[in-house]
Chains A and B, each alone.
Chain A
Amino acid sequence: MYRGMTHVASYETLGFDAPHLFDALTEMTSAQRDTLPFGVVGLDDEGLVVSYNQAEAALSGLTPSRVVGRRFFKDVAPCADVPSVSHRFFEADEVDEVVPFVFALRMTPTPVRIRLLKRAGAQLGFLIVERA
């Protein structure tokens, strides 16, 4: 399906906890993000979904086309609009921390870890999602 895989070979070892994940994600194309084994949601500074990778789509059951352009914490995943996730994501200019969470994906509680990644001045912030 994605024939450009060879171009992103250098990212194959990139893990959820990688220290330089923010820089790596910022450089990657959306096709490259699709190859990552964990969910990546790119949000602009207003919380609108700008990118939504394949792993995240597989986890949530939502196609990127239904999600992109919508307010993530209001329309896509309102359950994450709680102090430990959305509040923490927006209240600081720079964030890099992992919070435990449960997504009610297709009504099934799914424990996940969410890494909140945000830098001052950057176009996008990221929510990195991995099954716990």
Chain B
Amino acid sequence: MDNAANRVASDNASTLESLTEFLYLVPVGIVRCDGDGRIQQMNPMAVQLLLPLCKEPQLDIFGWLDRFDPNGRAAIEAYDGECGLVRPNTRVAVRPPSEDGLPEVLSLTITKVSATHFMLIVSDDSELARKDRLLQQKHRDLEATLRELGETQTQLLHAQKMEAVGQLAAGVAHEINTPLQYIGDNLSFLNKASTNFLALVDALENCDKATLADTLTETLRKRKIPFLRKRVPRAAEQAIEGIDTVSAIVSAMKEFAQPGIADKQPTDLNRLIEVTSTVSRHEWKDVAELVLELDEHIPEVLTQVGEINQVLLSLVVNAAHAIGEAAQERGTITMSSRTHEDHVEVAVRDDGCGIPEEIRARVFDPFFTTKPVGSGSGQGLAIARSIVVDKHGGTLDFESQIDVGTTFRMRLPRAAT
């Protein structure tokens, strides 16, 4: 052999050697087999990964394949494409983790490389599987955290409701006190009147028949009977009206808080508006008139009544504050209800100061408040939005114009009929 031929032979040999070395070192198993599954070539890694699958070493790829991917054989046999991926990246768990430090998950890719040959790439995906498990654990942790967060939110919701009810209680006490005052006044007037009437009856019973006319005239005058006759019916009426007012406030307060009713129930939103306007009277009566524009034909919708009341209260209280801040004489809050094709709408409109452009985006953010520290938790509208959107599948938004006023609109989907 001359030198040139020697050199070519030596170059070929070293190319072959480096190729072989590459195939030996590459960290995946490579197997080439013919259409009948007979293994023609495989690298040591393929042996190392596949061997533990079978008791006896196999020279037929199906002998191995059937052990961990029964569908692999079917895929190869059914494949009628020229060349290309037959079965991309099938991951198969081959054994329980931690046994002998062997791969726990193998991933297998089958490719048709020529008309008669298939190639299999086998790789150890244990690390991936481990990371996958880790990820799933993290996912479960996150879900648990989310659940906790949900529970916290429910508690927060309840706390905010208690805060609102507490705030209302003071106002309601005041609202009840006024009628109680005149109920008391009227009752003591009626008490005095009854004494006088009874005195008249006594005088008439005990007097001499001869002096009856004189006694009657004198007692009527002395006991102011004509005056009492005129005033007594009105006093009784007023006392009864007062009782009605008080019991309306008390029952509205009871309806508003809805203790213990957690499920959604068919709800007449107009009633909710009336209840909220009643219990919140103390919040708005000094700054505004409250006008109701109710759609009498509004259909019932499914709501958690206590929560929707809380939303309406937040809106009314905010409206009253907006009017208070506008420092005008007296404003008007309008609560209205309307029926639309697929939803019902409750709007609370005020003619107050309006919401400045720069804070409109943050109005529904939790803890956002324009009130001085200590006078508002900043949770009202955030929670209102959460109640309407998350719990009732509705929407809550607003439009506002500086010095003209703000309208908040709550839309709730109509119950499926």
Contacts and interface: CB of A to CB of B under 8 A. Distances in A.
Interface of A: 77-84, 87, 100-104, 106-109, 111
Given A100-B56, A102-B57, A106-B20, A79 B41 contact: no
The 4 closest A-B pairs by CB, nearest first: A79-B44, A79-B47, A102-B57, A107-B41
Contacts, number: 58
A107 B23 contact: yes
B48 A109 contact: no
A52 to B, nearest CB: 17
B358 interface: no
B80 interface: no
Contact of A84 (B23, B43, B51): B51
B39 A82 contact: no
Interface in B51-89: 51-52, 56-59
Contact of A104 (B42, B58, B100, B102): B42
Given A107-B23, A109-B59, A82 B45 contact: no
Contacts of B319: none
A104 B382 CA distance: 68
Interface residues of B, number: 20
A104 B47 contact: yes
Contact of A83 (B20, B23, B59, B102): B102
A77 B44 contact: yes
B10 to A, nearest CB: 16
A101 B44 CA distance: 12
Contacts of A80: 47-48
Nearest to A85: B51
B322 interface: no
Main secondary structure on B side of the interface with A: mixed
Given A87-B100, A101-B57, A79 B39 contact: no
Which of A79, A84, A103, A111 counts the most B-chain CB atoms under 10 A from its CB?
A: A79
Contact of B57 (A100, A106, A107, A108): A100
Given A109-B41, A109-B42, 5 more contacts: A79-B45, A79-B48, A104-B41, A107-B41, A108-B41
A111 B42 contact: no
Most buried by A among B20, B48, B59: B48
A101 B46 CA distance: 13
B51 A107 contact: no
7 contacts: A77-B44, A78-B48, A79-B46, A84-B51, A100-B56, A102-B47, A109-B59
Nearest to A106: B20
A107 B41 CA distance: 5
A111 B59 contact: yes
Nearest to B48: A79
A104 B44 contact: yes
Given A104-B43, A107-B43, A109-B39, A79 B51 contact: yes
B20 A81 contact: no
Contacts of B48: 78-82
